[in-house]
Structures are given as C-alpha cells and as structure tokens.
C-alpha cells in the first residue's frame, strides 16, 4: 500500500532529532498486527479483535498519511496500555468490567471499560495541552487553510482527550513536517520570532512526551517519586536528570502539596534530601 511506503520513507529520511522519527519506528512495529486494511472516504477507525491473540482492523483515507498515522497510533496506544485505546496509563481497576468478547473476537463492552478507565486529572492535563496548542496556532503565521484544519483537529481531540490526544497531536505533526516546518530561522541578528515555530516546538514536546509514555506502557506506574519542594520541583528535575521526564498533575497527599512525576528507568538524581520515596 502506497501510504505504508510513504510512512517507511518518511521514517528513513526525517531528521533523527525529530520526535516523529521514533514514533514512526514504533508504528512500523504495529503494522504486522493489522490483518485488515480498508479505505474510507472520511474519518477512519482502528478496531481490535481479541481472537487467538490480538489483531487489528484499520480503516483510513486513501492517500492521507496523517490519517493512517492517526489510526496506527490507536494501535500503539492499545498495545502500550492495554486499556481499550485510552491514551494514558492508569492503575484504576476497581470498577473496570472484564472484557466481553463475542464469537468474532470483538469486545462488546469497550465503551464501558473506557469510562471506567477515565481519569479526571489526566483528562484535564491533556485538555490543557490541547488548549495551549489551539492558542499558539491561532496566533501563528500558518496559512489560514492549514490553520483551520489544525484547529478543527485539536478541537476534535478536546472532545475525547482520553481517546484522541495521542492520535491528534501526532497527526498534526505529520502534517507540519509534510508542509516543511519548522520555518527556516532568520539570521541571529534579527529579533523576529516565528510564532509558527513556537507552536511547532510545543507540539514536538507533547508528541515526544506521549511517545515516551507509550514506550513505558503500564510498567512506569509503580515508578513514582514525590517531590516536596513544590516551587522548585520543575527546576530540580530538569537540572538533576539526564534523561526525559513526564510531569503529571498536582495532587494533595497527606495535606501537603506534592507533585507526582514519572521518570525514565535508571535516571540518576543529584542531591539526597530532595527525593522522598
């Protein structure tokens, strides 16, 4: 299929520092799990079959690489977390019903399971990220036609961030790469800053963050460190880790303002009294 060839070509030639590079490599590993490909005129879908192992059916728009990536991200999310296409890892299990699988291998209570996996803190965080992107792209130099499509896609993500966050931000990054972003910067003597590049940089950050979470899957949930210095925590983590990190929403523990963060396995920290196990 020509779209898969485009995906492979883009993964080969894209700048290795672009977060889309490892994402595309991840998606290439998902392709072998797809047993049915089907063109559709609009939208698209990814459906899982739990029959003799886990396989997928993908429906996507012909010639639309961004749309294909969108649907394959659904597969990557489901493989990473095994939470019925929910876009984040959570240890919520109390009210999650067991999967009901029919004779054809389809889960008939997927929506009920998704509702049970919904996490308000995660959903708020993902919604804030999408809102930030809408604000940045609105004030950017991106052409009106492309800007309209991007905003529509971000608003689509905000309707169901628990299922569409990863897909939407990655699809938009594919679009921008295909359009030639980021904009070539002006000489250092110029004071002008392209707002489109600011949007692009933020989008890259979110895509890299989502990719790192998927790479951990559910294995990161028990890797939690508490930082008691709320005002200095972001600075502390940035300066003391030598690898990527994920910040999750603020929560209250034992009546103290404490931040829960998720970090790469094997990260080295400086200082001894800042980290509380």
Of 181, 202, 218, the domain-final residue: 218
Residues 129 and 260 in one domain: no
What pLDDT was estimated at residue 92?
76
Residues 187 and 233 in one domain: no
Residues 67 and 151 in one domain: yes
What pLDDT was estimated at residue 1?
80
Total-model pTM: 0.79
What pLDDT was estimated at residue 167?
98
Separation in Å, CA 59 to CA 19, 35, 47: 25, 11, 9
What pLDDT was estimated at residue 238?
35
Interatomic CA distance for residues 186 and 267, integer angstroms: 37
pLDDT, averaged per 10 consecutive residues of the chain (277 residues), comes to 92 93 96 96 96 94 96 97 93 86 97 94 96 96 95 98 98 95 63 81 96 82 38 36 34 34 33 29
What pLDDT was estimated at residue 26?
96
The residue range of the domain holding 85 is 2-218
Collapsed DSSP state (helix, strand, coil) of residue 248: strand
Compute φ and ψ for 219, nearest 5 degrees.
Answer: -65, -20
Interatomic CA distance for residues 235 and 10, integer angstroms: 35
Which residues lie closer than 8 Å to 124 by C-beta, 6 or more apart?
A: 249
Of 186, 218, 250, the domain-final residue: 218
Domain count, the chain: 2
């Amino acid at each position: 299929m020509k779209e898969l060839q485009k995906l492979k070509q883009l993964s080969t030639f894209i700048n290795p520092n672009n977060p889309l590079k490892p994402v595309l490599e991840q998606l290439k590993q998902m392709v072998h799990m797809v047993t049915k490909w089907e063109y559709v005129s609009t939208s698209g879908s990814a459906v899982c079959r739990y029959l003799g192992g886990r396989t997928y059916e993908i429906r996507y728009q012909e010639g639309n690489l961004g749309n294909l990536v969108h649907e394959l991200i659904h597969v990557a999310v489901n493989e990473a977390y095994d939470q019925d296409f929910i876009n984040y890892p959570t240890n919520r299990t109390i009210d999650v019903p067991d999967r009901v699988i029919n004779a054809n291998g389809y889960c008939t209570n997927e929506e009920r399971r998704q509702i049970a996996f919904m996490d308000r803190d995660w959903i708020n965080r993902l919604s804030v990220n999408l809102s930030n992107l809408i604000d940045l792209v609105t004030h950017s130099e991106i052409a009106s036609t492309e800007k309209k499509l991007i905003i529509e896609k971000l608003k689509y993500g905000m309707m169901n961030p628990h299922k569409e966050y990863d897909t939407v931000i990655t699809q938009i990054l594919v679009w921008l790469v295909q359009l030639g972003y980021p904009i070539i910067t002006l000489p250092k003597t110029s004071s002008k800053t392209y707002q489109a590049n600011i949007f692009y940089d933020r989008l890259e950050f979110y895509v890299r963050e989502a990719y790192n979470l998927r790479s951990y899957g559910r294995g990161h949930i028990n890797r939690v460190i508490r930082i008691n210095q709320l005002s200095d925590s972001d600075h502390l983590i940035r300066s003391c880790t030598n690898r990527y990190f994920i910040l999750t929403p603020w929560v209250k523990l034992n009546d103290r303002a404490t931040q829960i963060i998720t970090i790469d396995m094997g990260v080295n920290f400086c200082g001894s009294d800042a980290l509380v196990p």
